[in-house]
Structures are given as structure tokens and as C-alpha cells.
Amino acid sequence: MKSSFNLEEIRQETPGCQHVIHFNNAGAGLMPQSVLDAQVNHLKLEANIGGYEASWQEEAAIERTYDAVTELLNGRSRDEIAIVENATVAWDMAFHSIPFQKGDRILTAKASYVSNYIAFLLVAERLGVQIDVIPNDEHGQVSAEALADMIDERVKLIAVTHIPTNGGLVNPAAAVGQVARPDGCFYLLDACQAAGQVPLDVQAIGCDMLSATGRKWLRGPRGVGFLYVKQDKIAQLSPPVLDLHSAKWSATNRYEIRPDARRFENWENNYGAKIGLAVAVDYALNWGMDLLWDEVQSRANLYRTELGKVAGVTIHDIGEVQGGIVTFTKKGVTPKEIQAHLAQYKINVNTTDITSTRLDMEDRGLTEVVRSSVHYYNSPTEIATFCERLSEI
């Protein structure tokens, strides 16, 4: 682990920094050259010797992914890790493995992501499960105190988005994990925007399951994600889909599900992306997540300060702790118009609307915002250029 941060070194190792000002890291971060090389080299190997043969030859690099993610999360065992296609698959495989019954309750945060909430509605419709939303505290983050008051024997799942897709908020995941839960209740943490941005310690957080992607703050390839499941919870979860990888056909009329977290995987996957994810995680670990988190916060704090000086801009971030996602609007200009204007200067941002986090945005009277997101490789010069171009609109 490195002892100090070197912005210039990191920017030199990131090819995209030479071509764009990338403030869309909440969508997908710019890959380091080492991650790009790892994935491309494996694709070339597949083309030259065959896909199966390439995976056999690179087994050590593929298996490194499980150890790297375990280290990233401070897990107890690599058997707690599944590598899947994306964060949605990871979250859905965990969620739909829970043995819900009629009358069970799901407790979730107000800033839940759309895909997660649709899944809640699905099981509510099919199984008669009840959805209850945990109130926010005075900072706009999920209230662990309110959550504690909502717990009863019917609670089957507490599902929280660690860092929502909008609003800058970092929810207090560990405080949620400290709330006492009845037997048979699970805590599922959506860490899609957290992995690679903030230090994650599943033992300190106390979650039973955690889902994440490789493409965002970890700066890995698209099309790969991972799921953590606490070892003593794995046997309690029955995956909604099984194949020859996740289960064994042990007799004509019998099958046996794998005992480890790979029961949530399927046989076919993108091995190049899997290797790329391992390299991306190792890249972050080499710098140290505490150091990188400090840099993300430093960049975001500077960005919010400079952004607040632009005439007509309103920043819509909440939370006692705020991360690298910065959301704003500008008077008289739509978020889409802002995005299109900045794109002319090779400045990348995204927009998000009420359909992504309906409960949160309805509560705050918002319909659409610019979602900009800075990473540790963004420079103060880029922030100044961004604000200059924004002021021109």
C-alpha cells in the first residue's frame, strides 16, 4: 500500500484523462491502463487459443478475483464471494433467494434505487409482503434510531442503498447494521456506488449480503459485478436460478446446491472482465481505500465550493457525510441542456430524474437534476474548467 497520493501518476496511468474531463464516475469510471490491458490481453488469448483453453491457462488470474474482493470488503473467506454479470444480478440473486412469506415486512430507505424498489413491489404483489420506508433523520440520511423502532418479528429484510444514485448522500450503513434484528431477518446493502469510493468492511457494517459493480468507482470493466454473502447465511438462501455450476446433479432425481457463495453464479461469464475486475480491485488496494476516499471527498468538497459560485446553480446534496456524487440544477436551463452543452467541450456528466429514486425526489420536490461525479483522478484544473463552461450557459 502506498503512503501518499500522487495525482499526476494516477492521471498518467489513466488514458481517458488525456481525452475528456470525466465527471460521470457514478456511471462508469475511467479504467487504468493496467485494467484495460488485462481485459484486452485475455480477449486476444481467447482469439488465439480458444475460450475454454484461455480460461484454463489463466485460472490463477481468474481465481485472484475472489481473493481481491474478499480483501476489499474485509471478508472472512473467499467462499463468501460470487462474481456475476453486474450489480443488478448480484442484488437480485440475493434478494430473490430470501424465503419471503405472506405478511413479512421489508424495511428500506427513502433513497432506494428504482431497480430495488421494483423488486420490492414484485414480491409484495406476488407474495403479500409489506414494504415500509424508514424515515430520514435531520441530515436527510436513513435514521438508525427510527429503524430500531420499526423492528418486529415480521421483519424479513432490511435493504439499504449505501450511496444513492443522487444527492451526494452516504448512508450510515454500519449504524443500520448495529440495530438488533430478529432471527431470520437479513440485511442487504446495495454498495453499487460505494465500492471503490469508500472503504467497505462487511464485518464492521454487519450486513448479511452486499452487492456491487466493477465499472463505477472501482474503475473496472463493464459487465462484471460481485456479491458478498456472510458465510453463516449462505445455507439459508436458495437461489432463484441454478445450473451445472451452482448445483451438482447428484442423482437422477436429486441435485445438491454448492455450499459456498458461488451458488449465486452461473457457469458462463466474461472471463476477461473478471480478470479486469481483479486488477481494478488490486489497483485500488495498492493505493489504499482510506487514502482514496480522502481524495474523493477532497475533490468533491472543492467542486461543491466552486460550483456554488456559479450564478443560478443550486446544489441538491444531502447527508451528514457526502461523497463524490454532486447533483445540481441551474436556473432557466434543463439538466439535459447542461449535459449537451458540456459535451461539446468533452466534459462528461449524466442526468437523473424522479424515476430513479422516486421516494427521495418526490420528498424533496425534485424532478430532474444534473448528476456529476468526481473521482480521485480528477484535478482542480478540471473543476475550474467545468465551472467556467457551466457559467457560459
Give me the amino acid identity at 306: E
101, 190: one domain: yes
Range of the domain at 123: 35-286
170, 81: one domain: yes
- List the CATH number of the domain containing 66: 3.40.640.10
- CB of 168 closer than 8 Å to CB of 323: yes
In a domain, 188, yes or no: yes
Give the pLDDT of the chain (393 residues) as one tens digit per residue.
887 999 999 999 999 999 999 999 999 999 999 999 999 999 999 999 999 999 999 999 999 999 999 999 999 999 999 999 999 999 999 999 999 999 999 999 999 999 999 999 999 999 999 999 999 999 999 999 999 999 999 999 999 999 999 989 999 999 999 999 999 999 999 999 999 999 999 999 999 999 999 999 999 999 999 999 999 999 999 999 999 999 999 999 999 999 999 999 999 999 999 999 999 999 999 999 999 999 999 999 999 999 999 999 999 999 999 999 999 999 999 999 999 999 999 999 999 999 999 999 999 999 999 999 999 999 999 999 999 999 999
Look at residue 33 in the predicted model and tell me its pLDDT. 98
In a domain, 2, yes or no: no
Look at residue 179 in the predicted model and tell me its pLDDT. 96
293, 282: one domain: no
- List the CATH number of the domain containing 354: 3.90.1150.10
59, 164: one domain: yes
In a domain, 353, yes or no: yes
Look at residue 6 in the predicted model and tell me its pLDDT. 97
Look at residue 1 in the predicted model and tell me its pLDDT. 80
211, 305: one domain: no
331, 255: one domain: no
Give this prediction's pTM. Answer: 0.97
Of 286, 318, 346, the residue that ends a domain is 286
Query: How many domains, in total, are found in the chain?
Result: 2
Q: How many CB atoms lie within 10 A of CB 6?
A: 11
Look at residue 2 in the predicted model and tell me its pLDDT. 84
258, 314: one domain: no
Of 236, 260, 286, the residue that ends a domain is 286
Of 286, 312, 347, the residue that ends a domain is 286
114, 223: one domain: yes
Nearest to 176 by CA among 164, 195, 161, 193: 161
Look at residue 351 in the predicted model and tell me its pLDDT. 98
